[in-house]
Amino acid sequence: MLALRTARVLFRFITDAHNQVADNAYTSVTKSHRPNQIVIQYAAPNNPDLQEIYGRLQDRHFLERIQYILSALRLPEELIVKTKECGVVNAWYTREESKPTVTICYELLKTVSQSMPKQTTSAADVIFESAAPRAKG
């Protein structure tokens, strides 16, 4: 579900960016080839229940990793990726102050974090477990 939602958000941003370039046929090479067009923002939550996820995201450089991955894209304009308290489990793409912005809610990240297994397994364990015949009865 998260992957689908993230894919939709990124698809919408890329489509929006493509349409904007098409509308502005003349785009300066210096503007479209900036080294890093991804701006990240961590907004501190007011809810004490979200302080732990906020701290873990910063400690693990969550947004910096997203910034690094997305920095390979040649974007026509700056993209803001931010985390914030929303009051609901959600994430979305919109334009804020005319800038494309992806907002990821702490509530969503907390829910995903809580649903993760406590222990990791190797890929081989997952493959063999799903391929193993199941006992009938």
pLDDT band at 128 (very low <50, low <70, confident <90, very high): low
pLDDT digits (tens, 9 = 90+) for 87-118: 999 999 999 999 999 999 999 999 999 998 87
Confidence (pLDDT) at 7 = 44
Rounded to two decimals, the pTM is: 0.65
| Amino acid letter for position 48 | P
- Count CA within 13 A, CB hemisphere, residue 100: 19
Distance between CA atoms of 43 and 54, rounded to whole angstroms?
Answer: 9
Which position has the higher pLDDT, 136 or 21? 136
In contact, 51 and 12? CB cutoff 8 Å: no
pLDDT digits (tens, 9 = 90+) for 8-40: 555 455 545 544 544 443 333 334 445 579 999
Question: 52: Cβ–Cβ under 8 A, 6 or more apart, which residues?
Answer: none
pLDDT band at 2 (very low <50, low <70, confident <90, very high): low
H helices of 24-103, in order, are: 29-32, 51-59, 62-70
pLDDT digits (tens, 9 = 90+) for 30-83: 344 455 799 999 999 999 999 999 999 999 999 999 999 998 888 899 999 999
